Every structure is written in C-alpha cells, then in structure tokens.
Amino acid sequence: MKSINSFQAKPESSNKTQIDQDFESLQLIIAEVQKAYKIKGFILKNSARALFNIYNSDDAFDLALLASELFDSSAKLFEVTSAGTLNHVVLRGGQMSVLCLSDGENQLSIFLDRATDYNVILDMIVKKNF
C-alpha cells in the first residue's frame, strides 16, 4: 500500500484480557492478509481499542461509517429473524467489497477491490480461528 493512515488507541489498563489477546492475534492475522492479498484497507476495533489502515484517507470516514452500519444492521436483522450470532457480513458494491467479521467483542472490517475473491480471505481468517 502506498499510503497508510493508521491509528491505534491503546487500552488504559496494562492487564491483558482475553479480548486484548484476541485483538492482538487479529492484528497478526490481518498483517498476513495484507501480505498475501491486495486489500484496500481494514478497521479492527473493540470497545477499548481501534486500529485502522485505509489506502485512501478521503474515504476513511465513510468506510468506517459503512462498516459500523453493517454491524449495527446485522444485530437488528438477526434479532427479528432469530439468525443467531453473526459470523460474517459481505457487501459487494459496484466498486468495492466489504467483509466484516465479529467474535462478539472484536470487529474486523476489510475493504477489498471488487474483483478480489473475498472467500479466500474469509477462509484464511476463519482458519486462524477467528
């Protein structure tokens, strides 16, 4: 990636919780994904920490809003349909695809070129025990 706009808010407590450990393992996974595939960016966050890396900084805010809305809408839709807990969401847009995963606390959103096969990335992340 040519341009990196990243931000990481660190947790106030230095005691590592399970959530923190999961967050860090996800950081490693996303680093591997970035090495293996050309992605347009990602957002990894939980209630205490956030890490993002978006190729085009102009789009960062709108993409963050979209990812957030995908998680919010899944919660609402799953409630009325009794679909259980969320595994993942895939939005295929005209220009870009968004892949969102959640383990309950940590939320990962990956932005891909439309032509990129999100299934390969999804498999890679799931195999890493997301």
Partner 1 sequence: MGKSEVNVSALETTLNEIRNVYPGVTNLMVLDETNQVIARDRTSNDDLVNQVSSSFETLAKKASIVGGIESLTYEGADKRIFFTRHQEVYLATVASNQLDQKEITNLTNILFTTTLKVIQEVVSYSVAKSVSAPVSAPSPVIEPPKPLIPEPKVRAAVPQTQPVQPVQEPTYSKPVAPMPIPVSQPSRLAVPEVKCKVDNISGISIVSDSPDAIRLDRAVIGDWKERYGAKKIEEAYVLDVDSKKVVRCKFAPIKNEKLEGQGIVQVPHKIQSFLGVKKGSTIIVKPAVE
For the record, the structure tokens of 130 come out as: 């997301």
Q: How far apart are CA 59 and CA 105, in angstroms?
A: 25
121 lies in the site for partner 1, by CB under 8 A: no
From the list 19-27, 30-38, 41-49, 89-97, the region that binds partner 1 by CB under 8 A is: 89-97
Beta carbon nearer to partner 1, 16 or 92: 92
123 lies in the site for partner 1, by CB under 8 A: no
For the range 4-9, what are the long-range contacts, defined as Cβ-Cβ under 8 Å and sequence gap of 24 or more?
A: 4/53, 5/52, 5/53, 5/54, 5/57, 5/60, 6/51, 6/52, 6/53, 7/50, 7/51, 7/52, 8/49, 8/50, 8/51, 9/48, 9/49, 9/50
- Of 89, 103, 105, 124, the one binding partner 1 (CB under 8 A) is 89
From the list 3-11, 13-21, 41-49, 62-70, the region that binds partner 1 by CB under 8 A is: 62-70
Beta carbon nearer to partner 1, 82 or 129: 82
Q: Which residues bind partner 1 (CB under 8 A)?
A: 59, 62-63, 65-66, 69-70, 73-74, 76-78, 80-98, 111, 114
